[in-house]
Structure 1
Amino acid sequence: MDVDGRPQSVPVLSRRQKVIYQFTQQNLPACKPVLTPAWVIATFLSLGFIFIPLGLLALVASQSVVEIVDRYDTDCIPEVFRSNKVAFIKDDSIPKNCTRYFKVHKPMKAPIYVYYQLDNYYQNHRRYVKSRNDRQLLYGLRYNDTSSCKPEETNSGLPIVPCGLIAWSLFNDTYRFVRGAGELRINRKNIAWRSDREHKFGKHVYPFNFQNGTLIGGGKLDPTIPLSDQEDLIVWMRTAALPSFRKLYGKIEEDLEENDVIEANLFNYYNSYSFGGKKKLVLSTSSWLGGKNDFLGFAYVAVGSSCILVALFFILFHVKNPRPYGI
C-alpha cells in the first residue's frame, strides 16, 4: 500500500535479476563441509593410495627410457690446446672435426631423439632473453624497429634479420652417425613446435645481413630459406629456463640393437669455453611420459607416503584421545 492507501504493484524480476539479487544478498546455497576425523583420515588415505601407484608408474616409464650421454667438449680439443681452449675454438685454421665411439647397452627403439646438452649456459638472463624482436621474426624488414635487439640490431647501417643476441649465438655444432658400414640418417624436420613454425616465424622472411660483422657469435643461416623452415633457429630461440638444458637436434628413425657400436663424427664449432660451459651429445628413446626424468615419480611417491603417514598419525591420535562430534 502507498501513503494514500492504494495497492502498490510489486516489480517482477527476471531470472537474471533474481540470480544477481540472491548473489548480492548472500542468499545462494552454500556447501559447508564438516571435517570429522573419519573424513580427514579417509581423504589422506585416498590421496596416498592414488599418488603412490602413479609415482611407481612414472618411475617405471622413466626407467624404460634408454639414454646415451657423451660429453665431448674436452676430449675434442687437441692435447696441445688443452691449456688454451678459447684460442683453439676461435682459430678457424684448425680443423674442428672429432670422432667419438659409444656402445649401445640396451636395445633402442625408433624414434631415437638426438639432443645437444649445454651446461652452465644462462639463456634465462634478462638481457639475453630481451634481445630479440618477435615482430621482425614474423614480418621481416617490413618491421624496422630493432631497438630491442641491442647490441645486435644493425650492421654497417643495415638491419639484421633475425636480430638480437639469441639468434646471434645460435648453436652450430653438427653431428653425423655411422653404424657398421652404413650411415644413420638424422631426420631434422618437424623438430620445432608447429605453433612456432606457423605463427611466430614468417614464411616469407629470409635472413638478411646476418653474421656479417667482425664478431661472429654462432651458426650462420641460409639466406635462401625462410625463417619458418630454419628449425634449428626456431628450436634455439625458445630459451631455456635453467642453466642446464637440452635441445632437439634431430631424430634417428632406425632401431639400434644391443652391442651396436656407433661412430659419431662431429664438428666442434660452438664456443662454450669462454664461459666455462659443457657440451654433451645425447641419444634417447622416449616413453608414454616423455624422456627420462625420475623427479616426477619420486615426487608422487613422496607425497603419497606423506599422506599415508599423516593419516596413520591421525588414526593413532584419534584412538588415544577420542572426541565426540560437536564437543
Structure 2
Amino acid sequence: MEMDGRSSSVRAGIETDSVPLRQGRSKIIYQFTQQNLPACKPVLSPPWVISTFFVVGVIFFPIGLLSLHASQNVVEIVYRYDVECVPVLYRSNKLAYIKNNLIPKNCSKSLKIPKHMKAPIYIYYQLDNYYQNHRRYVKSRSDQQLLHGLKHHDISSCAPEDFKHGLPVVPCGLIAWSLFNDTYSFFRGIDEVKVNRKNIAWKSDRDHKFGKQVYPFNFQNGTLSGGAHLDPNIPLSDQEDLIVWMRTSALPTFRKLYGRIEEDLDADDIITVKLLNNYNTYSFSGSKKLVLSTSSWLGGHNNFLGMAYISIGASFIFVAFVFMLIHVKNPRPNGDTTNLSCNWKPMSG
C-alpha cells in the first residue's frame, strides 16, 4: 500500500510538471505566430545606412582591383587546331578524314610566346560543344568497378559499354570509352620541352576512387573505338589521363589538365607543337583547343571575379553618395538618436 501511494504521488508530480511545460510551449508558439518573441530590431537611420554602403564599397573596390590585376598578369595562349590540322583536301569532309585510319593525323604548329611565362606552365585541352553532363552519358559508369575491378559484377549501369565478346569491360561505361586521345609534344628549337604528366589528377581520386590493383581489361575491344587505349599493365590509380577525364564537366565548354611545363618560357620564344589530331569532335560540330597558361594566387585567367567586385564596390559607393545628398537636402525631422531597438520581454509563467 505504501508503494502504491508513493507511485501515485510520483505520477501526480510528473503530471503537474508537464502541465506548465505544455503551457510554456503553447505560449512560445503563440508568441511566434504573433511575431512577438524577444528580438532586437535595428533602426536604419540615414547615417547608419550611408556608412554601411560606403564601408562595403571601400572594401570591395580594392579587392576587385587586386583580383583583376592578378588575372591580367596571367599569360595564356589558346590555339584552336581542329580545323587547321585537317588536310586541305578533307576540309569539306572532316568526318571522313577523322574516321580514316590510313590518313596520318600528325600536325605541327609554331607558337610565339607573347610574354615571359613563369613555370609551372599548365597545359590544357579545351573542348567546345561537348555535353559531358548528358544524363545517359553521366550514368554510364561503375564507381564500384573502378575501385574493385572484376570483383564487382553488377555493371548494368555501364550499358552499352559493359560487355564485349561475352567478357566484362574494365573500365566500363561511355565516359571511359570516350577517353580523349590527342597528344602533344613541345620543342624549343631542336630541344624538347619536357612535360610532366604526373599529379594532374586529384589526389583523393587517385587514392580512394580508382583501385591500385585494378587493371584495364577487354577495353576498346569492340568494333567501334571511342577514344584512347589504356595500358593493361598499369593500374587505374596510375592512369591519370583517365582519372581527369572521368571527372565530368557541368558545362559544354570545358578544359582538362594535360600536364605541366616546369621551365620558364621567355618572351618571343618560338615553341613548336607537334600533336596527333585523333579525337573525333567533327561528328557533333565540336572544337578542340590547346591552352598554355600560367597561374596567379587567384588561379588562371578569369576577369569575372575582379569585375564583379569592382562593379559592386562602385555601386555601393555611388548609392552612399546619393543617399548622403538626399539626406543633406532633406534631413530626417526627428533626428537620429536610436540605432538599435531591443524588445526583451521576460516570459511570465
> So what's the TM-score if we normalise by structure 2?
0.85
Taking the aligned partners of 1:130 and 1:321, their CA distance within structure 2 comes to 63
Structure 2: gaps spanning 5 or more residues: 1-11, 337-349
Counterpart check, 1:217 vs 2:253: no
Give the AA of the match of 2:72.
Q
Q: 1:57 maps to which residue?
A: 66
| Most deviating of 145-154 and 290-299 | 145-154
Identity percentage over the alignment? 68
Alignment of 1:159-308 (within 5 A): 159-308=168-317
Q: 2:56 maps to which residue?
A: 47
Give the AA of the match of 1:256.
L
Secondary structure of the residue aligned to 1:281 is strand
Q: 1:35 maps to which residue?
A: 44
Secondary structure of the residue aligned to 1:319 is helix
Q: 2:106 maps to which residue?
A: 97
Question: How far 1:31 moved relative to its partner?
Answer: 3.5
* Cα distance change on mapping 1:227 and 1:305 into 2, 3 Å: same
Taking the aligned partners of 1:184 and 1:200, their CA distance within structure 2 comes to 32
Q: 1:129 aligns with which of 122, 138, 141?
A: 138
Q: 1:115 maps to which residue?
A: 124
Q: Point out the structure with max Rg over C-alpha.
A: 2
Taking the aligned partners of 1:136 and 1:23, their CA distance within structure 2 comes to 54
Give the AA of the match of 1:164.
G
Q: 1:4 maps to which residue?
A: none
Counterpart check, 1:85 vs 2:94: yes
| Most deviating of 248-257 and 237-246 | 237-246
Question: How far 1:32 moved relative to its partner?
Answer: 2.6
Secondary structure of the residue aligned to 2:42 is coil
Structure 1: gaps spanning 5 or more residues: 1-7
* Cα distance change on mapping 1:325 and 1:191 into 2, 3 Å: farther
Give the AA of the match of 2:67.
A
Taking the aligned partners of 1:228 and 1:23, their CA distance within structure 2 comes to 57
> So what's the TM-score if we normalise by structure 1?
0.90
Instruction: Tell me, yes or no, if the aligned pair for 1:36 and 1:325 is still in contact at 8 Å.
Output: no
Taking the aligned partners of 1:23 and 1:196, their CA distance within structure 2 comes to 50
Q: 1:143 aligns with which of 152, 156, 175?
A: 152
Question: How far 1:9 moved relative to its partner?
Answer: 9.5
Question: How far 1:33 moved relative to its partner?
Answer: 2.1
Taking the aligned partners of 2:188 and 2:315, their CA distance within structure 1 comes to 48
Secondary structure of the residue aligned to 1:76 is coil
* Cα distance change on mapping 1:309 and 1:219 into 2, 3 Å: same
Question: How far 1:260 moved relative to its partner?
Answer: 0.8
Question: How far 1:30 moved relative to its partner?
Answer: 4.1
More helix by share: 2
Q: For residues 119-174 of structure 1, give each alpha carbon's deviation from its aligned partner in whole angstroms, at most 9, with x where no partner exists.
A: 11111112211111111111111111112112212112222111111111100000
Q: For residues 188-237 of structure 1, give each alpha carbon's deviation from its aligned partner in whole angstroms, at most 9, with x where no partner exists.
A: 00000111111111111111111100111111111111111100011111
Secondary structure of the residue aligned to 1:313 is helix
Q: For residues 266-291 of structure 1, give each alpha carbon's deviation from its aligned partner in whole angstroms, at most 9, with x where no partner exists.
A: 00000010001111111111001000
Q: For residues 99-131 of structure 1, give each alpha carbon's deviation from its aligned partner in whole angstroms, at most 9, with x where no partner exists.
A: 110111111111010111111111111221111
